[in-house]
Structure 1
């Protein structure tokens, strides 16, 4: 069994960053993430579930939702798989938190800042920022000058953090390295330089889990593995479908089997079976019975009759 828990399961992430007894870890991490901008001394955890205004609307469940000692609202989210509208989702989270600051009756529209921090623990795709850390603010397009500090997004794409242990020169580097590699570590690095990592090691030590906590952790890991398996299966099926559709188009244009195989990574036998199963459909597209294929396929009586 690994020495430390995987920090990216739902239960583990909340254990490390979303509990009263471990909020010192969250405070220290946020201070390093926002280094030079502000210094947080305390956070107050808010209800992680924001109920909808009517029964027809969807509620929101955050991973971590807190308010700092100076009034900023901070949402910390962890995602293990890509979503088609992930950026839109984070915008929705922030917008809901801003709107909920409204006061009934007389109100001057004064808002406290909202920060959304997203750990993105999945491979880069078209919906993902293309560098490890991306900071998004409301700024003037030409000058880059910040127009308002009331909304802020920080996206951390974990697979794009490539530094080795000896290359971690900042406190934040050390944080990210430990989180990314925690499940494979036998000893928590950087404890001598930063005492907070001794505390992180205590919270994340799998040997200290109670029987009930171990069951919750195991369940959260199974959910994470199942979700990943479903995602990979869907991804592979999508790739396979795309290859077959491309192969059919090439078949319809008389491409040689070897060339189709090279272009699609399908075997020649797979392409032949695909051609046989789709022969009627291809013929319906005004291709002569056997002329569109670089090999002869006998038609069934049903196909000939059609």
Structure 2
């Protein structure tokens, strides 16, 4: 019997599965499922764009994962995994989208050269007020709902809201969502039996778990996540995050923790984050 041992939202594993040229048929299937459901697939090929600017700090790794791809029609698609709630998420996502969209033009290019850009965000917590687990946002008129441009789309998949009773009855995106929801070993076997693509996904996961080097890198990412959560919990216990501005302070503490790990002077960290020197010193003692 198949047994699942990994967190499928781990950034290293996620990029192994959907950000690899060797398995881009899986990426194509996933993108078609998100954008077009069970319709005839529109995307037939993708090429991966190496952004080469993933932050090295643990917090940066937890905030954002990029798989940036260009489809055969020129559409840019950014896939992100968000596993921690942070302040100003909507603004962050919009900034990432704008960076992707605006980055297409080079000196001398005309606006007609711009292609549609789509963001897909998988979230491991409830974020939007809607009850549905898959929500799509466009730029449209408040009254008529007329879409201004089809160059903007942002998809949110909230895994905690996803519910199902029978794996075999799920549509394409439902099967992918069940998988990333870390379904049970029995359900994973059902997924593999229900769809050739999902069988390939499960086989890729098994190959990953059997590779010692990849498992070590995966474990390092998981440790970074545990350390981050522990740092935040400790900061709350010490009262650094108390008060009405907890969300803003949490971001400051997160930045301060990363700066401390880089060996930056306490006074400089206090000046950069707005935390008191005493609070930064307290964080420093917790990291020893």
2:82 to 79, 84, 95: 79
Q: 1:144 to 1:192 in 2, by over 3 A?
A: same
Measured after TM superposition, the shift of residue 232 of structure 1 is 4.3
Bigger helix share: 2
Corresponding residue for 1:143?
144
Is 2:101 aligned against 1:91? no
1:185 matched residue in structure 2: 185
Deviation string, structure 1 residues 161-218 (Cα, Å, up to 9, x no partner): 1223458532211211122124x42543233331001101111116753221111111
| Larger Cα-atom Rg | 1
Q: Which residue of 1 aligns with 2:197?
A: 196
Deviation of 1:241 (Å): 4.2
Match of 1:104 among 99, 102, 107: 107
Structure 2 unmatched ranges of 5 or more: 55-62, 245-288
TM norm structure 1: 0.67
Residue 254 of structure 1 corresponds to none
CA deviation after TM superposition for structure 1 residue 153, in Å: 0.4
Structure 1 runs, 4 residues or longer, greater than 4 Å off: 232-243
Partner SS for 1:30: helix
Which segment drifts farther, 69-78 or 41-50?
41-50
Report how many residues are paired.
231
Task: Determine helix, strand or coil for the equivalent of 1:143.
Answer: coil
- Secondary structure of the corresponding residue to residue 137 of structure 1: strand
Please report the TM-score for the alignment, with normalisation by the length of structure 2. Answer: 0.71
Query: Secondary structure of 2:86's match?
Result: coil
The answer to whether the 8 Å contact 1:4/1:206 transfers is no
Larger CA deviation: 96-105 vs 5-14: 96-105
Give the CA RMSD over aligned residues: 3.0
**Where in structure 2 are the equivalents of 1:190-269 lying within 5 Å?**
190-205=191-206, 208-234=209-235, 241=242
User: Separation in 1 of the partners of 2:152 and 2:21?
Assistant: 25
Alpha-carbon offset, residue 234 of structure 1: 4.7
| Residues 241-290 of structure 1, C-alpha deviations (whole Å, 9 max, x = no match) | 459xxxxxxxxxxxxxxxxxxxxxxxxxxxxxxxxxxxxxxxxxxxxxxx
Q: Cα offset for 1:146? A: 1.6
